């Protein structure tokens, strides 16, 4: 049985992540979407909010499990008996980062193989930070994320008010 882990921050999950998850689940027996929950960076959404959104989106996919995790991703893979780690590749800058991460992870745990899927061109520009920034400025993200994510971000930014300190809003505003 092949068990794969698709790790990430998912702050929030968007259509690019969902596409990678749906394509990779066809290749394996079980896909564990692992939501990183001990932040090194400032997250907009709490671990429970991020996990809850992913769970809602994949509730009708019996081969997909959603869990939170912390610490080294390869250690988590070992702990749950996963042989494969899934990553998504967008642009060349992703490649360099993922290449280094894959080699470092392989040094730590040679038994876990990294499987990188190329993004669907429709989602190639999408990142969680782009989604957060557009949403924080009241832009339309309905083509980038599922309805549940759109609602969650709308409420989050409403609660934070105009001067939210979390998101640096420079790209889409200037």
- Write the interaction track for ligand ADP spanning residues 45-84; mark x where CB under 6 A is met and - where it is not: ----------------------------------------
Of residues 9, 24, 105, 136, which one binds ligand ADP by CB under 6 A? 9
Indicate whether 23 belongs to the interface with ligand ADP (CB under 6 A).
Answer: no
Cβ–Cβ < 8 Å for 111, 77:
no
Residue among 62, 68, 53, 67 nearest 18 (CA): 53
Q: Is 137 left (phi over 0), alpha (psi -120 to 50) or beta?
A: alpha
Q: Residue 65 catalytic?
A: no
Closer residue to ligand ADP in complex, CB, 17/156: 17
**80: closest CA among 18, 31, 139, 143?**
31
Candidates 61, 65, 90, 106; catalytic one:
90
CA 7 to chain centre: 7
Say which of 9, 24, 128, 136 is annotated catalytic.
128
- Positions in the binding site for ligand ADP (CB under 6 A): 8-10, 16-17, 20, 87-88, 90, 94, 119, 123, 126-128
């Amino acid at each position: 049985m092949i068990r794969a882990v698709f790790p990430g921050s998912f702050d929030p999950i968007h259509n690019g992540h969902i596409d990678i998850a749906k394509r990779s689940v066809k290749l394996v027996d079980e896909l564990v979407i692992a939501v990183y929950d001990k932040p090194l960076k400032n997250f907009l959404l709490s671990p429970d909010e991020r996990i809850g959104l992913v769970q809602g989106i994949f509730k009708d996919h019996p081969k997909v499990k959603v869990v939170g995790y912390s610490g080294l991703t390869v250690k988590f893979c070992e702990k749950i008996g996963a042989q494969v780690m899934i990553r998504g590749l967008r642009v060349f800058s992703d490649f360099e980062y993922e290449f280094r991460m894959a080699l470092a992870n392989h040094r730590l745990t040679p038994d876990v193989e990294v499987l990188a899927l190329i993004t669907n061109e429709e989602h190639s520009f999408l990142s969680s930070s782009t989604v957060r920034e557009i949403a924080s400025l009241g832009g339309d993200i309905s083509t980038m994320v599922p309805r549940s994510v759109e609602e969650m971000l709308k409420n989050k930014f409403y609660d934070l008010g105009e001067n939210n300190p979390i998101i640096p809003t420079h790209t889409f505003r200037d």
